Structure formats: C-alpha cells, structure tokens
Amino acid sequence: MSDKEDDMFVDEVRIKIKAGDGGNGCVSFRREKYVPRGGPDGGDGGRGGDVAFRADPSMRTLLDFRYRRSYRAGAGGNGAARQMRGKDGDTLTIDVPPGTLVRDTDTGRVIADLYHTGEVKTVLTGGHGGKGNARFATSTRRAPRFAQMGQKRREYEVVLELKTIADVGLVGFPNAGKSTLLSVISRARPKVADYPFTTLSPNLGVVAADGDSFVAADIPGLIEGSHEGAGLGLQFLRHIERTRMLLHVVDVSGIEGRDPVRDFDMIIAELTRYSAELAKRPQIVAANKTDLPEAQANIGRLSDHAALREIEVYPVSAATGEGVKELLRAVSRMLSSLPVPGPYQREIEVDAPGQDETFEVAREDGRFVVTGALVDRVLYETNAFDDESMRHFQQRLNDYGIIAKLRDMGAKDGDTVDLGGWEFDFID
C-alpha cells in the first residue's frame, strides 16, 4: 500500500454481508450385517455461522473495506449416516473502528452501533440445519426417504458509517487555527499549513486540564453550504454528532478580510441546517490569533454578539499559548456538568429468528396466490419428486394454517393454488 493510501481517511463504505446457510439433512439407512431392515439413520445438517461486528481500538478508518466488499460466514456441514450431525459454520467477526454505525442500505435503519471499544454485536444469524430422515421416523412411517434442506440466508448490503467518538469537537472555518490549537493542548500532531482544508481527516487528541482529561476532535473546516456538501463539510459533520460539547474556534484577526462575527454566525447556521440538535450542543468560543494586532478591535464585538446566545468567549493565541489554560479550565468545567452520550438506541436485528413465519394469501386472475418467507422455506425443504416428502409438505401446510386460510378465502375443490410458483389443485 502506498503512503498516500495509508493517509486516506475513509468514513463511509458499503459492503455485502451474508450469514452461513444451514447444512442439509441426510437420507440414510442402516446397512449392517444381520440387520436386514435397518432403520433411518440420516443425521441433521449443521447450523450456519453468524455475522458479527467488533469495535477494534487499533482501527481509526474504514479504508480496509475499500479493497474487500463481500463478507460471508461459513456454511453448516451436511448431515451424514449413523446420525452424524454436520459441523456448524464458523462465525464471521468483522473488525471496525469504535464509533461505527452499521445501517441496512434498503431501509436506512441502524443494525448495530459499535460504540464501546471491544464490544461485539451479532447482526445476522446463521441458518438452521435441515433435519435428517431419522428425525421423521414415526410409528406409521418407519422408513422416511426424505430429509430437510438447510435454511438458506440471503445477502444484505449494509453501510458502515464512522462517527468519531470524542468529548469536544473543534469547529470553525478553514485556517481558524483548530489544528494548531489541538497540537498545543494535546499530544496530537496534525498536519498544519497555511491553506484551506489542511485537515483532511478528524484528528483526535487527549487533553489534560485541572487534573482531568478529555478527548478533543479537530474537525475539518466548514464553509458556507457545508450542510449541502460544499467543501469537505458534509463529509465530516457526522464526526461531531457524538461530542458532548463544541469548541468553536474563530479567527478574530480578520487578516484575510473575514469578519469574525459573520464567521461565527455562518458556522452556527451550517450546524443548524445539518442538525438542529447539534446546533444546540453546549459551546464555548475560542477567539484565536489574539497575538495579531488586528484582533483587539474584534474581540469585544464577538464577545458581545456571542453573549446574545449565552456563549462565553475566551481570547487565545494558539501560536503563543496565551489564554490556553483559561480556555481549558472553562472546557473542563462545562464537561463536568454534561452527560456522557450513549450508543444509538434504536438497534434492530436484520435476520432475527422468528421473522420467517409469515405468509399472505391473495386472489389473482381466478387463482389463490400464497406468498411469504414461510412458503419459501417450506418449499425449499420439500422434495417434489418424493411422495413421502410431499405428504409431509401437505401436513405442514395444515400445521401452519395455510390450508385453513385458503378455505377462509373461499377456496374450493379444483381451484388453482399458486405457492411460490408451484401450482396445485385445492382439495379439501
């Protein structure tokens, strides 16, 4: 991998994931000397492997997923003679940086939030193994010649979305001095240069203040229109969604012809358009570059203007360190009164067990059409060329209430019933 690729910060990717299919049940009969009528001894198939995500603290970007987009757990092994059960498929654990959200692409719903370092969350469950023919033997059915197929699992496309986990988010226009300030208050060493968008990825630093410590994130500079994707703003605004407070860095020198008050209002407006909740996050303003003579005339104006929003302004110079200690004490005091945000609460399980027991019956062009995950599963597990399997199939239609539903819908002898593409004559 090149140095350029090493420096890439990737915070959103799409990948495909699939839990393992269950193994097929086995059709087998005992074949032993002096046992002329050996009974069925086909074993069950093994269970398919799950798909899980793990928050790995050694990762800070989703770059690795640019080179591999498909992930599959191991399939269960097929059953064998002598009631040997197939081997269970291996669980696939996918490592992601802490702070990664996993979303279902089709619905946009959150499947998992890998918020805490080291936590593991299973998002897809493996398919059940099919039953071997030994499981279908009864007092009246001594030699079943059919077995169940393993439960199949479908592939899902998910979006991995990284949201930086930090206590304080540094926001402001390009060249306001955020990266320089972070390097002064922590051991972080972001690249700093005098041109817009120097910071191409969020930089994290641990800050010590008044015997306490907190994590600060330097977010790439916002510009007008960032909420619509202008510049780099939209790409990185997500990284301050988890922060407890914002440290708004404003260049009060005005040496580039900018007005600090207008810059302050513009950043607030961009935050509001992106997320009204984010704009209400507790905030402190660092009036930076006070070492420059032009700054003194602007500090008072900015302080008076920010006071209208009940936001305190602290004059600092990241270049000389002036005012930095006072700023950090203020940040530490504010953090001490703020709750620690938790992970995303509305998690769902995409492939939750029990969600495949549904079916629907509709009348179309004189036929009764039965659809649903339950129908697909029953059909898949049926051998249409085996009489015993078909009798078992009919019994399952009764057990699951499909026959009763057809009867309630008005089905009569001779009516055509379409079950997942298979056509039958209804016989009551």
Among 114, 136, 162, the domain-final residue is 162
* pLDDT for the residue numbered 392: 76
Q: Which amino acid belongs to residue 240?
A: I
- Same domain? For 123 and 245 the reply is no
* 194 assigned to some structural domain: yes
Higher pLDDT, 233 or 91: 91
* 345 assigned to some structural domain: no
* 41 assigned to some structural domain: yes
- Same domain? For 14 and 104 the reply is yes
Q: Are the C-beta atoms of 189 and 267 separated by less than 8 Å?
A: no
* 118 assigned to some structural domain: yes
* 284 assigned to some structural domain: yes
Of 82, 109, 87, 91, the C-alpha closest to 20 is 91
- Same domain? For 134 and 71 the reply is yes
Longest dimension (CA), the chain: 107
* 393 assigned to some structural domain: yes
Output the six-digit token pair for 200: 């191409």
Residue 368 has pLDDT above 80, yes or no: yes
* pLDDT for the residue numbered 376: 73
Of 119, 164, 109, 134, the C-alpha closest to 38 is 134
Q: Are the C-beta atoms of 46 and 23 separated by less than 8 Å?
A: yes
Domain of 312, CATH number, reads: 3.40.50.300
Output the six-digit token pair for 7: 């420096």
Domain of 391, CATH number, reads: 3.30.300.350
- Burial class, 354, CB count within 10 angstroms (exposed 0-12 / middle 13-18 / buried 19+): exposed
* Cα–Cα distance list, 317 to 73, 187, 253, 323 (Å): 54, 17, 11, 7
- Same domain? For 332 and 366 the reply is no
Taking only the tens place, the pLDDT of each residue in 324-363 is 999 999 999 999 898 877 666 555 555 544 445 678 888 9
- Same domain? For 31 and 144 the reply is yes
* 351 assigned to some structural domain: no
Strands across the sheet containing 416-419: 360-364, 367-371, 416-419, 422-425
Taking only the tens place, the pLDDT of each residue in 260-305 is 999 999 888 888 887 778 888 899 999 999 999 888 889 999 999 9
Backbone angles phi, psi at 267, to 5 degrees: -65, -40
* 301 assigned to some structural domain: yes
- Same domain? For 149 and 11 the reply is yes
- Same domain? For 325 and 395 the reply is no
Taking only the tens place, the pLDDT of each residue in 28-40 is 998 776 655 678 9
**Residues paired with residue 312 on neighbouring β-strands, in sequence order:** 284
Residue-number span of the structural domain to which 375 is assigned: 360-425
* pLDDT for the residue numbered 239: 73
- Same domain? For 141 and 198 the reply is no
| Count of the separate structural domains present in the chain | 3
pTM assigned to the model: 0.68
Torsion of CA 346, 351, 352, 355, to 10 degrees: 110
How far apart are the C-alpha atoms of 2 and 389, rounded to whole Å? 58
Residue 122 is inside which H or E element, if any?
A: strand 120-124
Q: Identify the weakest region by mean pLDDT among 170-184, 199-213, 344-358.
A: 344-358
